[in-house]
Each structure stands twice: as C-alpha cells, then as structure tokens.
Amino acid sequence: MTPFVMAVANRKGGTGKTTTAVNLAVGFARRGVRTLLVDLDTQGHAGIGLGVVAARDQPTAHDIYTIGPEALSRAIRPTHNPYLDIAPAHMQMLHPGQGVPPGLLAEAIALSGEKRDYQLVIVDTPPSLDALMVTALAAAHGVIIPFLPHPLSAEGVQQFAKVFFSVRLSNNPALKFFALTPVQANLNVLIHKNIIEQLRNQYGAGRLTVPIRTDIKVAEAFAFQQSVLDYAPTSRGARDYDLLTEEIGRSWSILEANTPPLE
Ligand SMILES: Nc1ncnc2c1ncn2[C@@H]1O[C@H](COP(=O)(O)OP(=O)(O)OP(=O)(O)O)[C@@H](O)[C@H]1O
Ligand SMILES: [Mg+2]
C-alpha cells in the first residue's frame, strides 16, 4: 500500500517540530498504525528522543542524498513500539545543495515498503527552506507546522506557506493538507491568544489544530529518550498530543473508524 506521508516543518528553529514528530509517531503507533519516522535533521533529535542513534558507520536516512533512494530501507531500525520504526539522521552530514531531485525522498519512501508495509511515514525536518525541505514537501500529503504563539511566528508561518504552495504547484499536487499547531501555548496569555486568532483568520479555522500546552514533562521525556505518551501518560503534554493524534488522524483520514482503541 502507499503510506500517508506527513512532514513536520517550520523554517524557524525550536518550535516543537521534533517533539511533535516523535509524539505523533508514537501516538499513531499506539493506535495500531504501522508507522515510520524519518529523521531528516542532522541534529538527530528525533532519534535521540526515541533512543535510536546511528553510529558513524551505520546507515542513515540522509544516505539517500549521497547514495540514492534505495538507501532508506537499510537505515530503518525498530523502536520499543512494535508498530514504530525509525530511520535515524546522519549527524555529520552537510545539507545537500541544489541539484537534488525533488522526488528523491518520495522514491525512497516508495521503496521502503519492501522493508515493511507502512501506513504512515512522518518526516521530521530541520529549520530550513533548502533543497532537503523541498524533497520532504515533494514526498508529503500533509504538513504540520508547529509554531510558538509569539509575535515573530506569524512571519515564519507565512514564509513557509509560500514554499508549501510553490512545491504543490510545481512538484507535488498530492500535497493537500496543512495544519498549524500552537506549541507551548497558554490560552490565558493574551499575546498567545491574539497570535493564534490572527493565524486562524488568515488561514481558516480548519487549519488550526488543538494547542499543545507548556508542560515540563514534555522536555523531561526527551531526556529519558521517550515520548511524553510513554514517559508521563497522564500529563498535560501526553493528553494534548493524544488529542492532536486523534484530530489529525480523523481529519486527514489516517485513522479509520475500525482502528483498535488506545492501549
Ligand atoms: N509543550 C512543551 N512544553 C515544554 N517544553 C517543550 C514543549 N514542546 C517542546 N518543548 C521543548 O522545547 C525545545 C524545542 O523543541 P523541539 O526540539 O521539538 O523543537 P524543534 O522545532 O524540533 O527544534 P529545531 O528547530 O532545533 O529542530 C525542546 O527542549 C523541547 O523539549
Ligand atoms: Mg527538531
């Protein structure tokens, strides 16, 4: 089958991309969705957050840029969750320059089906808008843009939206969905409320997802190399990511009505 591909992206750094990618990957895996998390950020945080790091001589997701699309399958490793695999990042690689075929990651994902019949692929991306990001968007059906509800965030989201529509037009008509997820949000803070409202007016209410509130357990979970869903299942952060999984799963038709309930 062809998996649904979701990129988690924002050109700004530190907006909760990796945290969202990891927790959605675990959220869907817990619902019985066969999921692959691809770490395209050379910081390697998604892998670190799940306790899977590639040693110097081990294959990585980034090998597709130096070897070719067939390299992705070799990089795939199991995680503690039987429904979730991960292709960790190459932590020393320089970003590919121009000249990368935009369809490279899409082709690699198609080939990864030989390893396992994935239903969902989540791609964590670095804070950039370069050729690597184009490959991520050219492979995706939907993009989640986590943003901090701060004054400068709207600008970052706007710049990103332009790239989204340009890739959709020139490379990937299957790129249909995009969602904006407020992260580290506190709806009692006026500026947070205002920024969320501004983006809602600009992009439409349907594009704004449930917010992820600030929760120290989310940051702590990373230090313990776990998702917050595993580390602190009753925490605010776990609850918010659970709602986000459910919301995205339903509105992007990733979760079917007969999917087994949460463990
Ligand atoms: N809801 C939250 N509550 C508290 N801390 C959070 C929350 N979400 C993320 N963080 C923390 O904020 C920091 C940045 O998050 P994260 O690494 O997910 O961002 P990122 O967008 O992937 O960053 P980069 O652009 O560097 O890849 C991390 O230390 C993370 O633990
Ligand atoms: Mg990150």
Domain parsing of the chain, residue ranges: 4-251
Beta strands in 23-148 (DSSP E): 35-39, 77-78, 84-87, 120-124, 142-147
- Ligand 2 centroid, distance to 82 Cα (angstroms): 24
- Give, as one character, the DSSP assignment of residue 219: H
pLDDT tens over the chain, length 263 residues: 799 999 999 999 999 999 999 999 999 999 999 999 999 999 999 999 999 999 999 999 999 999 999 999 999 999 999 999 999 999 988 887 778 999 999 999 999 988 889 999 999 999 988 899 999 999 999 999 999 999 888 888 988 888 999 999 999 999 999 999 999 999 899 999 999 999 999 999 999 999 999 999 999 999 999 999 999 999 999 999 999 999 999 999 998 744 554 44
Instruction: Please say whether the beta carbons of 161 and 126 come within 8 A.
Output: no
| Three-state DSSP state, 129 | coil
Residue 258 has a pLDDT of: 43
Kindly report the CATH class assigned to 4-251: alpha beta
Pocket test for ligand 1, best of 8, 11, 18, 241 (most atoms within 8 A of CB): 18
Q: What is the pLDDT of residue 106?
A: 98
Q: ∠ CA(169), CA(147), CA(197), 5° rounding?
A: 90
Percentages helix, strand, coil for the chain (3-state, rounded to 5) are 40, 15, 45
In Å, what is the CA distance from 98 to each residue of 88, 101, 129, 157, 257?
A: 23, 9, 12, 23, 43
Ligand 1 neighbours, Cβ below 6 Å, are 13-19, 41, 43, 45, 127, 183-184, 212, 214-215, 218-219, 222, 237
DSSP state of 96: P
- 218-223: Cβ within 8 A, 24+ apart: 218/19, 218/23, 221/49, 222/19, 222/45, 222/48, 222/49
Distance 125 CA to ligand 2 centre (A): 7
Q: Which of 245, 14, 237, 236 is nearest to 227 (CA)?
A: 237
> What are 110's two structure tokens?
């198609």
What is the pTM for the complete model shown?
0.96
